[in-house]
């Protein structure tokens, strides 16, 4: 592609030189003209990237996803930087602490060059998820189970709610410290208190007022209610079961992300939004709630087809990811769309086929920025 661009630019430069110029001894040679073409191409690309970063700061429907298998190294599908340019933010599905140099470099490049933001993410049931250090040998030698070691590390004492609350505050701040350490852009709480899980958990963080305390603590440092301007630039989002939270607690979140997997019609999305409105409308308008809503499809299962067969409001049948991009609430507009294991769409031809189509459908004026 580059050689055709350079050739075209060379022709343009050639045509711009008058006949008399070619009689001058100082006429440019081919190497100089090609150097000028390279410089012009580089300048155009920098302008494109500046425009792209500016677009990310505008009010628009966002493209989101959970990114798995992240290494920051080859192959390209393992790198955040190779996501479609118009990707707004991602949740790091495989962990967010102890990042490798390659991951840190990829994270920095994606953010600084393309404006792609990355959030820490945790499917959170028990204290310490994501940041508890590995169990040391001395703990194992004492016969401590992982649960015992984990509780001791955070100062959690079963039956002592004061100690438990202190541990939760410590844990919330530890996640925020990790976000600051790696210059991440916020936190995605995967809230699934009522979903069955394939592993053992006591769901201790979802008992009493514990999860609310966790969010209130974190919300002082990141999200829309943060105490500092820098903190308010970071995102605090909830996915899974945002309905669990009260209308007051919902104000701590920038987005409500619904796992609308295998969604087959606009009615499904209307109903899901309706449940959020019922829960949160005492503190927010329907339009405000809709604008925070991101609906997502499961690309771990359906990336090859872009989802399941979905029926739009006007009767068309399209892949569900595309249907989600086309769907709008009856009042206002949605916040955006996303996909679980978004990196799976890299295998499509062209690469990231469905993610790009979604961007163009939601924000048609940005077709040159995908």
24 and 79 part of one domain: no
Co-location of 218 and 314 in the same domain: yes
Per-residue confidence (pLDDT) for residue 366, from 0 to 100: 64
Tokens encoding 62: 């966002």
Cβ atoms 72, 80 nearer than 8 A = yes
Give the tens place of pLDDT for each residue, 255-310: 999 999 999 999 999 999 999 999 999 999 999 999 999 999 999 999 999 999 99
What integer pLDDT is reported at residue 333 of this predicted model?
Answer: 97
pTM, to two decimals: 0.89
CATH for 296: 3.20.20.80
Domain around 53: 1-57
Interval 75-101: pLDDT, tens? 999 999 999 999 999 999 999 999 999
* DSSP percent split of the chain into helix, strand, coil, nearest 5: 50, 15, 40
Tally of domains in the chain: 2
- Residue in the structure block whose two tokens are 């340019």: 85
Q: Within this chain, do residues 306 and 349 fall inside the same structural domain, yes or no? A: yes
Q: Are residues 11 and 92 in the same domain?
A: no
User: Any idea which residue has 């208190």 for tokens?
Assistant: 193
Strand partners, 339: 65, 297
In contact, 291 and 277? CB cutoff 8 Å: no
Regions of the chain with pLDDT less than 70: 1-28, 366-370
C-beta of residue 226 within 8 angstroms of C-beta of residue 180:
no
């Amino acid at each position: 592609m580059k050689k055709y661009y350079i050739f075209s630019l060379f022709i343009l430069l050639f045509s711009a030189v008058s006949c008399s110029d070619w009689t001058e001894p100082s006429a440019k040679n081919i190497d100089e003209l090609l150097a000028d073409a390279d410089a012009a191409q580089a300048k155009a690309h920098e302008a494109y990237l500046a425009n792209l970063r500016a677009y990310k700061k505008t009010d628009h429907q966002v493209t989101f996803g959970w990114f798995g298998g992240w290494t920051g190294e080859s192959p390209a599908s393992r790198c955040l930087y190779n996501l479609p340019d118009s990707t707004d933010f991602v949740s790091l599905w495989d962990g967010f602490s102890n990042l490798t140099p390659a991951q840190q470099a990829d994270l920095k490049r994606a953010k600084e060059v393309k404006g792609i933001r990355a959030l820490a993410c945790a499917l959170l049931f028990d204290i310490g998820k994501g940041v508890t250090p590995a169990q040391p040998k001395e703990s194992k030698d004492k016969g401590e189970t992982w649960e015992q070691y984990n509780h001791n590390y955070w100062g959690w004492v079963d039956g002592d709610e004061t100690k438990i609350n202190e541990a939760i505050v410590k844990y919330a701040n530890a996640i925020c410290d990790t976000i600051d350490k790696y210059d991440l852009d916020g936190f995605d709480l995967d809230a699934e208190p009522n979903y069955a899980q394939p592993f053992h958990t006591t769901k201790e963080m979802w008992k009493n007022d514990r999860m609310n305390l966790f969010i209130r603590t974190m919300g002082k440092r990141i999200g829309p209610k943060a105490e500092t301007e820098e903190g308010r630039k970071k995102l605090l989002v909830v996915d899974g079961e945002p309905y669990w939270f009260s209308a007051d607690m919902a104000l701590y979140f920038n987005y409500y992300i619904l796992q609308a997997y295998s969604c087959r019609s606009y009615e499904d999305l209307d109903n899901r939004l309706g449940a959020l409105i019922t829960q949160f409308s005492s503190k927010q308008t329907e339009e405000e709630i809709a604008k925070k809503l991101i609906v997502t499809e499961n690309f771990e299962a359906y990336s090859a087809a872009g989802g399941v067969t979905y029926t739009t409001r006007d009767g068309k049948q399209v892949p569900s990811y595309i249907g989600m991009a086309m769907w709008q609430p009856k009042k206002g507009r949605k916040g955006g769309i996303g996909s679980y294991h978004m990196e799976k769409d890299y295998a499509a031809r062209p690469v990231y086929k469905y993610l790009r189509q979604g961007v163009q459908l939601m924000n048609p004026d940005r077709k040159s920025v995908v």
